[in-house]
Amino acid sequence: MSAPKPRANLADVPAYVPGKPSQPGSFKLSSNENPHPPLPEMVAAAVAAIESMNRYPDMGATAMYQALAEYLDVEVDRLASGTGSVGVLYHLLQAFCDPGDEVVYAWRSFEAYPIAATVSAATSVQVPLTPEGGHDFAAMAAAVTERTKVVLVCTPNNPTGNAVTHTQVAEFLTQVPEHVVVVLDEAYREFVRMDDPLDALALAATHDNVVVMRTLAKAYGLAGLRVGYMVAHPDVAAAVRACALPFGVSHVAQVAAIAALNAAPELMRQVDAIAAERDRVLVALREQGWQVPPAQGNFVWFGIGDQAMEFAAAAEAAGIVVRPFAGDGVRVSIGEPEANDRLLRLAAGFREASL
Ligand SMILES: *Cc1c(COP(=O)(O)O)cnc(C)c1O
């Protein structure tokens, strides 16, 4: 006897490696979370919402969509939400890809992309990053075929940290056929401090094939409650909502999301502080001699190849938990100043020992 066999391609689903939980006395810098505890008004809203946990959430997530529409200044029918923006991505691939259709994205990028593509029975087409860790848009445009349904652009790119410019994306859109969905994954947009930053909503307003994907997990501090959303043409948004899990975003999560949007000015002050810490870390690492890509998210990237696991082990011994990608590099989230100082001490020591 053997158990019924699932779809054969599921054997190819890469495992998602979650950031390790931190031990007592160590800092968790492995999942790009906001290190600040949630604001009291967010906690109060979520706690109050718990009182009605015997009821299903609002199926239409009406209040949350209304709050998002006002916050973003877009029409409600251009929105779709899900359990994190990864949930939205799953629904989008389900809505647009038949088996074997192609999803083009840079690599290395967000590790959820190959998983989501495979689960959706789509075929991943991975286009290598430039040596500096940025998107190679010419190569990505060339990788689009008749089977391509979706292109994913992660900016800032997880894990390398490079962000694309508005000019680059606007130019790229002229190279991609209009029937291909172009997802701009802006999970870390709040941390971007650069010239010519991407204005993804403006591109979505003028291009019917552009999808702006965002999350409340990072800057807004709701990683544990799973809320993400997208903004797109109303027909695209409707197709994604049609694929969404009924009642996917819990009532507590919806209420906390509204509270987070209301608290945006305070949360953006936290983001300012994190971005300043990131810049401090980046400057210090470069002074130590590290070649770190221009970090625009709340993390930095050490492209140290074979030494990734060794670095991660040294980090753990130094009281910080980082995210290694075996054979490729190490991503380290920006955390509390003390955690960042530990990283700088570790990086200096590691460089000295391995030179
Ligand atoms: C963290 C992250 C997300 C958001 O994931 P959620 O499902 O919203 O928690 C999306 N894209 C990238 C690139 C990320 O790093």
Q: DSSP string covering 118-169, please?
A: HHTT-EEEEEEPPTTS---HHHHHHH--TTEEEEEEESSPTTT----BHHHH
8 Å CB contact between 230 and 79:
yes
Looking up tokens 């409600």, which residue turns up?
76
Give the pLDDT score at 17.
74
Ligand 1 centroid distance, CA of 298 (Å): 12
pLDDT on residue 325: 96
Rounded CA separation 107/70 (Å): 35
User: Any residues with CB less than 8 A from the CB of 273 and at least 6 apart, and which?
Assistant: none
355 residues of the chain, pLDDT tens digit each: 789 998 888 888 887 777 677 778 899 999 999 999 999 999 999 999 999 999 999 988 999 999 999 999 999 999 999 999 999 999 999 999 999 999 999 999 999 999 999 999 999 999 999 999 999 999 999 999 999 999 999 999 999 999 999 999 999 999 999 999 999 999 999 999 999 999 999 999 999 999 999 999 999 999 999 999 999 999 999 999 999 999 999 999 999 999 999 999 999 999 999 999 999 999 999 999 999 999 999 999 999 999 999 999 999 999 999 999 999 999 999 999 999 999 999 999 999 998 6
Question: Is the Cα torsion angle 262, 266, 269, 275 positive or negative in sign?
Answer: negative
**Dihedral through CA 178, CA 189, CA 133, CA 289, nearest 10?**
170
CB-ligand 1 contact for 86 (6 Å cutoff): yes
Candidate from 93, 184, 198, 218 with most ligand 1 atoms within 8 A of CB, to mutate: 218
Would the CB of 221 count as within 6 Å of ligand 1?
no
Query: In whole angstroms, what is the distance from residue 226 CA to residue 257 CA?
Result: 10
The reply to whether ligand 1 has any atom less than 6 angstroms from the CB of 254 is no
Residue 43 structure tokens: 């906690």
Question: Whose CA is closest to atom 7 on ligand 1?
Answer: 84
Test site for ligand 1: of 32, 33, 34, 86, most ligand atoms within 8 A of the Cβ: 86
Dihedral (CA of 188, 189, 191, 193) sign: positive
